[in-house]
Amino acid sequence: MAGNLNKRLNFRVKENVNKSCDLIFDGGLHSTTRGAMVNELVKYFMYERQQIPVPFDHAKRELKKLSEQQETESRENEKRIEMRQKELPIPLSSKRKLKKRLTERKASSALENLDLIFENIKKSFEHCPEISQIMIVLGSTVVSPKEMYIIQMPPLSPDAENIVFKSCVRSLFRQLITHDLLGNIKAISPTNMTVLLKAPRGCNIEWFTPKHNFKTPSRGQQFMFNCVCEQPVVLTHDLTHDANEFDISGIDCLDSLDIDMSASALDDVSLSELLSKRISFGHHKYQTPVASKTPIDQINHNAITPAQTIHHDDDHLWFQSPIVVKGYRDPVHQK
């Protein structure tokens, strides 16, 4: 009995293994870029987790070629196929063709549903840029998934300089390959894929269905991707001075003649005051006073991280896609 209990506990520990990584971008992310980036991540997860045999764009091209070939073959062999079905049993080659067509139907259904989801994800970000999280669930149900991928979006920064989509995608895949969170996990069989968006309750999201009682599942493997926007701050302090006056941006002008340079005055000045004013008495040079104790890494980069904006569950709601994408395998393309 104790042995069975230990096995169950070990299984649960393995089942709930969580992994996370930061995806850092050198600039802000526009709402259109966010939606397109989420679509690229869905394509990446579907291929890496063996839900589609080839990358999404490649699969669409292959399916288009196959549909064109089928139309040509159907016109030429329509009469021959009818005669074989009436007079002779279906040969092995025809059975293979039927199996191939079944795979093509599964592929067509999966790719069409993915296109529909991509289109509505893009529209959702355009209507509601405040979407904070995206959950991509692999499993028969969203309550008990096999795997889930949570993408944490950075807070909006209207004053930031947004990066272009191509640079965003290059940086995204470079970091995904570097972190390689999906490299050593066990393969899973084709299953359902569902997309959920977490957004404010009063947002204008269409097509997706609100799930008022849904919470992040405790089962299955969880992978967290935290998107972080780093924005360089340009220090533009204008330091100008003449023989008698020294201007510091944001500070009242200092008159150098009002400073007592005598030895008696220096005796009364503490070391901390000298360091804070940073006065070079010998050459009459003045530097900007130390006005902040901010670490240098925070001065050079203003990193906007998801931790800076904590969303309460009462203020936000999960929205689920009304359709699921069923993964499929093609015997011709086995990884």
Q: Over the stretch 73-98, which tens digit does the pLDDT of each residue have?
A: 666 666 666 666 555 555 555 667 77
Residue 298 belongs to some domain of the structure? no
> Tell me, what DSSP letter sits at residue 333?
S
Q: What is the DSSP letter of 90?
A: P
**Residue 110: half-sphere exposure toward Cβ, Cα within 13 Å:** 29
Domain membership of residue 300 (yes or no) is: no
Residues 197, 120: one domain? yes
Question: Same domain for 107 and 212?
Answer: yes
Q: What is the CATH number of the domain that holds 93?
A: 3.30.900.20
Q: Are 198 and 134 in contact (CB under 8 A)?
A: yes
In single-letter form, the type of residue at position 47 comes to Y
| pLDDT confidence of residue 99 | 75
Give the tens place of pLDDT for each residue, 83-137.
665 555 555 556 677 777 788 889 999 999 999 999 999 999 999 999 999 999 9
Residues 85 and 224 in one domain: yes
Residues 195 and 130 in one domain: yes
Which uninterrupted H or E stretch holds 279?
strand 279-280
DSSP codes of every residue in 307-327: GGSPPPTTTEEEEE-SS-EE-
Residue with the larger pLDDT of the pair 263 and 65 = 65
Q: State the chain's mean pLDDT as an integer.
A: 76
State whether 227 and 245 are in the same domain: no
**15 pLDDT above the threshold of 50:** no
Residue for token digits 């003649």? 257
Burial class (CB in 10 A: 0-12, 13-18, 19+), 268: exposed
Q: Which two tokens stand for residue 11?
A: 């299984």
Q: If you search the block for the tokens 């359709």, which residue do you land on?
A: 323
Q: What's the whole-number mean pLDDT along residues 57-82?
A: 75
Residues 120 and 259 in one domain: no
Query: Does the pLDDT value for residue 260 go beyond 60?
Result: no
Residues 44/49/53/57 CA torsion (nearest 10 deg): -10
The type of residue at 248 is I
Q: Which residue has the higher pLDDT, 166 or 68?
A: 166
Interatomic CA distance for residues 252 and 284, integer angstroms:
18
pLDDT band at 69 (very low <50, low <70, confident <90, very high): confident
Strands (DSSP E) found in 128-256: 133-138, 147-152, 192-200, 209-211, 221-232, 240-241, 245-248, 251-255
* Percent of the chain topping pLDDT 70: 61
162 touches 27 (CB < 8 A): yes
CA dist 43 and 118 (Å) reads 10
- CB contact at 8 A, 317 and 210: yes
Residue 300 pLDDT: 41
Mean pLDDT, range 278-289, rounded to an integer: 42
pLDDT of 18: 87
Q: What is the pLDDT of residue 325?
A: 97
Q: Based on the domain organization, do 142 and 250 belong to the same domain?
A: no
CA-to-CA dists, residue 68 to 61, 65, 72, 81, angstroms: 11, 5, 6, 18
Q: Residue 54: which pLDDT band, with cuts at 50, 70 and 90?
A: very high
219 plus 249 within the same structural domain: no
Residue 5 in domain: no
Identify the pLDDT of residue 100.
Answer: 76
Does 1 map to a domain? no
Rounded CA Rg of the chain = 31
Domain hosting 31: range is 10-231+308-326
For residue 299, tell me if it sits in a domain: no
Are residues 33 and 89 part of one domain?
Answer: yes
296 is a domain residue: no
**Both 127 and 244 in a single domain?**
no
Give pLDDT, residue 142.
94
Helix axes 92-127, 56-87, angle to 10 degrees: 140
Q: How many domains is the chain built from? A: 2
- Alpha helices, DSSP H, located in the chain: 2-15, 31-48, 56-87, 92-127, 165-179, 263-268, 271-277, 296-300
- Mean per-residue pLDDT, 145-154: 96
Between 247 and 153, residue with greater pLDDT: 153
Q: Could you read off the pLDDT of 177-216 as tens digits, one per residue?
A: 999 999 889 999 999 999 999 999 989 899 999 999 999 9
